[in-house]
Structure 1
Amino acid sequence: MRYLYTLAMYLVTPFIMLRLLARGVRYRDYHRRWRERFGFPSAPAVSGSLWVHAVSVGEVNAAEPLIKALRDSYPNAPLVVTTVTPTGSERVRQLFGDSVVHVYLPYDLPFAVSRFLQRVRPRMAIIVETEIWPNLYFACRRRGIPLMIVNARLSERSLRGYRPMGGLVRSALSCVCLIAAQSRTDAARYRLLGADPATILVSGNMKFDMPVADDAVPAGEELRQQWGRLRPVWIAGSTHEGEELPVLEAHLEVLKRLPDALLLIAPRHPERFKMVEHSARSLGFSVATRSADRVPSASHQVFVIDAMGELMPFYAAADLAFVGGSLIPIGGHNVLEPAALSTPVLVGPHTFNFEEITLTLIREGGAARVKGKEQLGKEVLRLLLDTERRARMGASARIVFDSERGAVRRVMGLIDKQLQE
């Protein structure tokens, strides 16, 4: 199975490269640093590093408190952070600057993996959430590099996707010394996937430990002062293709009852910024953007947040937040960011990436679910008109966020123990 998998990886690599070329037409960072994807890091060689892999923006945000804890506890160990996407790379740069070494994770080809590990020489490999690459895992075991999966999650969809490669995935997971799962459900799914039950424990979700910037709330207050403190404002964060048009149509519905309402919309991927702006203008909205206008004025109806890593002040400024990736089967994005700021949360029907967190928020009254695109406008309007309900939801969301913290402390204890051994 492993030989067949490796052969398949060699065969599909040209198509992966073509896909990167195509994506780079709209977002040029995909055209940069290609050599790193074949195990030629542009950064200087290091030795004895602590290596953290976080595939993209969401995983980098989840790993932020852990990376900072590692930096504080092991100041003499080089910290290497790998991502797969340019947006993840940009987020690493925003959060950590030059205090960590960032490179792209190489494709799961034996020669590329070997060259990468020779260059960074990690004392430990820490994979955040769900990234199972057999050749990489086997190479770590061969070199005696302890490998952990932390904040581990596995959706039902991912479980089904891995099952056709059951034997290979089971062998790869045998290379892992510890799986710190987000929840009991994730732990059970890893067992079903073939991981050794003795290596699995539940540590909680590190995203509850994400730092809430001290200036997020004051910055949100300042934004509200600029666009009109009493205006009804809602935000659609981390939206995808197939969601932006329904969000804009929902805002048309809102404007019929609340003509001074403002929609803040933050597309998940930078290559969609211009498309969303054009879509809003084509529907007749008065549109402003973060890059051109900085903040919307009283006359603007839609504000496109065409910048990365700036959601928190806007979540703080909004009366309610719709979290994207949930109207279509992407699986949803981080509902904890608005919850941390006491902002009521709306989600669509597809939240399998944040299954237990979302269900907890809904059960405790901090979030509400819309069944489909046609319900979004009605529910947004209902909440914008109900100040008391929004206040209750926001307070409940913050209580859930505060009550679940502590996962990073537990994971750091596990890392410390493993390094001592």
Structure 2
Amino acid sequence: MRYVLALFFYRVFLLLLTPIVLLVLLIRSFNHPEYRQRLFERLGFFPKPYKQGGIVVHAASVGEVIALKSFIEKLLVNYPDLPITITSFTPTGSAQITKLFGRRVQHGYLPLDIFPCTTLFLHRLKPKMIIFMETELWPNLIAQCDQHQIKLLLINGRLSKKSLTSYQKLSALMAPCLNRFDMILTQSQENLTHFLQLGAHQSRCVNSGNLKFDISVNEQVINKKAELAKLLFADDSQAKRTVWLVASTHEGDEAITLTAFKELLSQYPSLLLVLVPRHPERFEQVANLCLTKQLSLAKRSENTIINNEQVWLLDSLGELMAAFALSDIVTMGGSFSEVGGHNPLEPALFNKPVIVGHNMSNFNEIMQQLRQENAIIELTNNTPTNESSAQLVNEVSALLQQPTRQKTLGENALKVVLKNQGASEKTLAQVVNLLPTRVNITSTTPLGDNS
């Protein structure tokens, strides 16, 4: 009874909130027209043409899409007769899906978790299974799937202590929500424990490992690397510049980085800083910050060859993995604040030494393994901007003077990645257990129907 009431009030609250949510999306669309152009998808109007009766996998944004790549490829091989649909919630995630999978999958935005919108979404696709990832818990949609006997799977489950505390305040809604999943596959034992503490039944929970280890270099990354190298190392007559890449930066990260970089330039004048902001709406802001710091700047969007510029701003999408391959030292953004860091395994795949800030709470288990293998450099604690910059100067300078240490750190990091791969296979096994591979499509919408 408590759950029924909690779900009812949740649905009413979100329904009342709908005009505000749509207004926020419209405001965001001033800088990013993509939010406005596909607004109807947020309301449950999955774009036609589409096929029904398949598997829906939700990947909120870019990081989740990349982490799911190996698993999605296995789904496509094992379920050749079922439509595989990947949903996202951000334009950047959408672009990444198109880039990685093209027309091999169906794609659209997952609608807002509002009763009429989710009803329309499910009516259009009539999926046999919906797969959510990490902490994507949509109580209304999950309840509707349960009602319609749609298989539910939560994969790569992640629940931090902070999220656990927040969700426990809504336990009347969240605990029953969790137990509507047929299985919950967590990325570590610690996360499994947190899901149990939130109220998930132990029989439904399995630690299957972290999908983020199952990354690899594909032909697309190789081709993109060659494309960027033509801009970065165009003049063969000159010695190649050392590249310090600072990836997935958030507000405040660039100030710390640029302060450190200006000091490093006095000792290493040919050092090139490559900055990659996490969110496209901040590209121009970061460019202006570089110019304010009186640093010469080149933009990837201008497609110009790098000559003597001090900063290269990657104001582009889908090129970070290739940029990792061309760098010498990598620092992961989002780790200097409450964001909790971004995936250090991506640069590790390319044997790169990685420096992170004090807060990598989004990757606790991964960080433990990297520490154990001497495969990561961490700033010591939460410090003011100038002290964080000073620590960065010390760590980057030490690596520049110790190429052997650079190589060892990179090799150790790659070993951690390779040693922990295999979560995609375990996840696929759970899908097959719930949804045998010999399944007929119940109904379809003709691909030629664009109405």
Which TM-score band (shorter chain)?
over 0.9
**SS of the residue aligned with 1:238?**
strand
Q: TM-score, normalised by structure 1?
A: 0.96
Give the direction of change, closer, same or farther, for the CA distance of 1:387–1:198 in structure 2 (3 Å limit): same
2:390 matches 1:385: no
Match of 1:145 in 2: 150
Give the direction of change, closer, same or farther, for the CA distance of 1:215–1:91 in structure 2 (3 Å limit): closer
Match of 2:269 in 1: 259
Amino acid at match of 1:158: S
Amino acid at match of 2:394: K
2:189 matches 1:180: no
Alpha-carbon distance in 2 for matches of 1:292, 1:417: 50
**SS of the residue aligned with 1:112?**
helix
Alpha-carbon distance in 1 for matches of 2:234, 2:378: 31
**Structure 1 contact 33–42 (Cα < 8 Å) conserved:** no
Q: Root-mean-square deviation (CA), in Å?
A: 1.7
Structure 1 residue 155, shift from structure 2 partner:
1.3
Alpha-carbon distance in 2 for matches of 1:82, 1:359: 31
Match of 1:353 in 2: 362
Alpha-carbon distance in 2 for matches of 1:223, 1:405: 33
Structure 1 residue 73, shift from structure 2 partner:
1.1
Match of 1:209 in 2: 214
2:113 matches 1:108: yes
Structure 1 residue 216, shift from structure 2 partner:
4.6
Amino acid at match of 2:300: R
Amino acid at match of 2:108: V
**Structure 1 contact 43–102 (Cα < 8 Å) conserved:** no
Structure 1 residue 291, shift from structure 2 partner:
0.9
2:26 matches 1:26: no
2:333 matches 1:324: yes
**Structure 1 contact 236–323 (Cα < 8 Å) conserved:** yes
Instruction: Give the share of equivalent positions with the same residue, in percent.
Output: 37
Give the direction of change, closer, same or farther, for the CA distance of 1:229–1:5 in structure 2 (3 Å limit): farther
Amino acid at match of 1:99: R
Give the direction of change, closer, same or farther, for the CA distance of 1:205–1:229 in structure 2 (3 Å limit): farther
Structure 1 residue 232, shift from structure 2 partner:
2.2
Alpha-carbon distance in 2 for matches of 1:249, 1:11: 46
**Structure 1 contact 63–128 (Cα < 8 Å) conserved:** no
Match of 1:73 in 2: 78
**Which is higher, the Rg of structure 1 or of structure 2?**
2
**Structure 1 contact 223–317 (Cα < 8 Å) conserved:** no
State the Cα deviation string for residues 254-306 of structure 1 (Å, max 9, x = none): 11211111000111111111111111111111110111034422x01000001
Of 241, 254, 274, 1:244 maps to 254
**Structure 1 contact 250–378 (Cα < 8 Å) conserved:** no
Match of 2:3 in 1: none
2:207 matches 1:191: no
Structure 1 residue 83, shift from structure 2 partner:
0.7
**Structure 2 contact 248–278 (Cα < 8 Å) conserved:** yes
Match of 2:137 in 1: 132
Alpha-carbon distance in 2 for matches of 1:105, 1:216: 27
Alpha-carbon distance in 1 for matches of 2:283, 2:423: 34
**SS of the residue aligned with 1:26?**
coil
Amino acid at match of 2:377: A
**SS of the residue aligned with 2:128?**
strand
Q: How many residues align?
A: 420
Alpha-carbon distance in 1 for matches of 2:25, 2:278: 17
- Higher RCO (CA < 8 A, seq sep 6+): 2
- Mark the runs of 5 or more structure 2 residues left unpaired by the alignment: 1-5, 438-451
State the Cα deviation string for residues 9-63 of structure 1 (Å, max 9, x = none): 1232222222222222222211121111111112324221111001111111111
- Mark the runs of 5 or more structure 1 residues left unpaired by the alignment: none
Amino acid at match of 1:405: Q
Match of 1:288 in 2: 298
Alpha-carbon distance in 1 for matches of 2:148, 2:87: 19
Structure 1 residue 114, shift from structure 2 partner:
1.0
Q: TM-score, normalised by structure 2?
A: 0.90
Structure 1 residue 223, shift from structure 2 partner:
6.1
Alpha-carbon distance in 2 for matches of 1:377, 1:133: 43
Give the direction of change, closer, same or farther, for the CA distance of 1:294–1:184 in structure 2 (3 Å limit): farther
Of 411, 420, 431, 1:415 maps to 431
